[in-house]
Structure 1
Amino acid sequence: MLWHQDGAFWPLEPMEVVTLWLAVDDVDAENGCMQVIPRTQHLDLQAAQTRTDVANVLAASMDESIVDESKAVDVILKAGDLSIHHPNLIHGSKPNTSPRWRRGLTLRYIPSTTRILSDGPWDMAFHLRGNAVPGVNAYQPWPLYQEGRDLPFRGSEDWNRRASEWNSRQEQ
């Protein structure tokens, strides 16, 4: 398993962020649930080191001499459950060796005072509440519901009204 801290990969200043992982499927040890090393959120961020000797999504790992694998805990979730973790928490997952899926939706939340320092996938930030801090980040406009394109939902008219108002405020 390749252990890592998410914050080592994120171009954020200051590193004030929380990750939410919403389980789409049941996840357990058999299909490679996340494992965490408890209380490691108190450690400093460690630099990620390139790793090509083991197939993995990040192509990187942290210095594993810091990790005490005997303390690893499985994060077992049912579909619809949520895992929340700090950017310094040491975690990883083993391969999915089962015939089942291990799918999830990852969301990251930052305060409007945290600056995103790069483009790319980071330019998909949405401002969700409160007031944006001028000059800190550029946020995506709230999407508008379009009949015939989007899945209909009750309240779509109200959604579009509020989204239009929000987008207008952000442009000012």
Structure 2
Amino acid sequence: MSAPTAEALGRLWADGYTVVPAVVTGSLLERLRTEADAMVTAFEDGHRSEDFWHFTREGESAPVLFRIHNLEQQPGAPLAAGLFATGPLHHLAETILGGPARARVIAMIVKMPQVAAAVPWHRDRTDAEPGRAINLSLFLDDSDASNGALEFVPGSHLLADDAEVEKVRTAGPVLTIGAVAGDVAVHDVRTVHASRPNTTPRPRRSLVIEFVPDTTEAP
């Protein structure tokens, strides 16, 4: 597993995000991709549940999958459940947070080819101090500006809880962050961010786990 460099950690604390390359590689990455393929195919074949979040584009009837919530509870996701319980993302979170870490939630973000919409600008939550709650996004596919890359406003995790997201975005700067399959994008849950639509024939999927120090009280 790749470990974050001092430069990458410094960027995280200063800017609210960083990318750690090649955290998951080889057979585990390929098996996670196969697992993700099967869940997307199940949705396309008609599977529905309250954890499979989807929308319908204007003027069309076909639902578009965009998130599978409570991923560790899905029958078709034993490998993702394993990552939620232990393994390389836990080790990375513990390195970043400086001690034992606990996973709070895991989901798969799905940017379906040519139909995925942009995710609006937002902060995940503001009820944690800067540096006390982080999201790790493990990319199962290469991500760039054309297929749904993440975008961040650097330093926005340090803003007040009531900072207006749209004003923050307009003031900028806005940086687009690319990644390749196996990389992990790390961001503070307070950071103002969004993601682009997918206008390509390539999928863009990521497994997102929020981590907090193990001593943090459950909300």
TM-score (norm 1): 0.52
1:95 is displaced (CA, Å) by 1.2
1:45 is displaced (CA, Å) by 2.7
The answer as to whether partners of 1:13 and 1:114 remain within 8 angstroms in 2 is no
Partner of 1:5: 123
CA gap of 1:39–1:70, structure 2 versus 1, over 3 A, is closer
Secondary structure of 2:194's counterpart equals strand
2:152 to 24, 36, 51: 36
Q: 1:23 aligned to 2:139?
A: yes
Secondary structure of 1:7's counterpart equals coil
1:70 is displaced (CA, Å) by 4.8
> Greater CA deviation, 68-77 or 87-96?
68-77
1:99 to 201, 212, 218: 201
Read off the aligned partner of 1:45 and give its amino acid letter: D
Partner of 1:80: 182
1:24 is displaced (CA, Å) by 0.4
Task: Could you tell me which runs of 5 or more consecutive residues in structure 2 were left unpaired when the two chains were aligned.
Answer: 1-117
Give, in whole Å, the separation in 1 of the partners of 2:143 and 2:153: 18
Secondary structure of 1:67's counterpart equals helix
Give, in whole Å, the separation in 1 of the partners of 2:156 and 2:128: 20
Read off the aligned partner of 2:170 and give its amino acid letter: D
Give, in whole Å, the separation in 2 of the partners of 1:64 and 1:5: 11
Structure having the higher strand fraction is 2
Q: How many residues in Structure 1 have an aligned counterpart in Structure 2?
A: 100
Give, in whole Å, the separation in 2 of the partners of 1:21 and 1:91: 13
1:13 is displaced (CA, Å) by 6.1
The answer as to whether partners of 2:165 and 2:192 remain within 8 angstroms in 1 is no
Structure having the higher helix fraction is 2
Secondary structure of 1:104's counterpart equals strand
Partner of 2:43: none
Read off the aligned partner of 1:32 and give its amino acid letter: G
1:14 is displaced (CA, Å) by 6.4
CA gap of 1:45–1:35, structure 2 versus 1, over 3 A, is same
The answer as to whether partners of 1:5 and 1:46 remain within 8 angstroms in 2 is no
Written as runs of structure 1 = structure 2, the 5 A alignment for 1:1-172 is 2-8=120-126, 16-46=132-162, 63-68=165-170, 70-117=172-219
Identity of aligned residues (%): 32
Which has the higher Rg, Structure 1 or Structure 2? 1
Read off the aligned partner of 1:3 and give its amino acid letter: W
Partner of 2:56: none
Give, in whole Å, the separation in 1 of the partners of 2:181 and 2:165: 32
1:88 is displaced (CA, Å) by 1.2
1:31 is displaced (CA, Å) by 0.3
Give, in whole Å, the separation in 2 of the partners of 1:13 and 1:21: 19
1:39 is displaced (CA, Å) by 1.3
Instruction: Report the aligned-residue RMSD.
Output: 2.2
1:69 is displaced (CA, Å) by 6.0
The answer as to whether partners of 1:5 and 1:45 remain within 8 angstroms in 2 is no
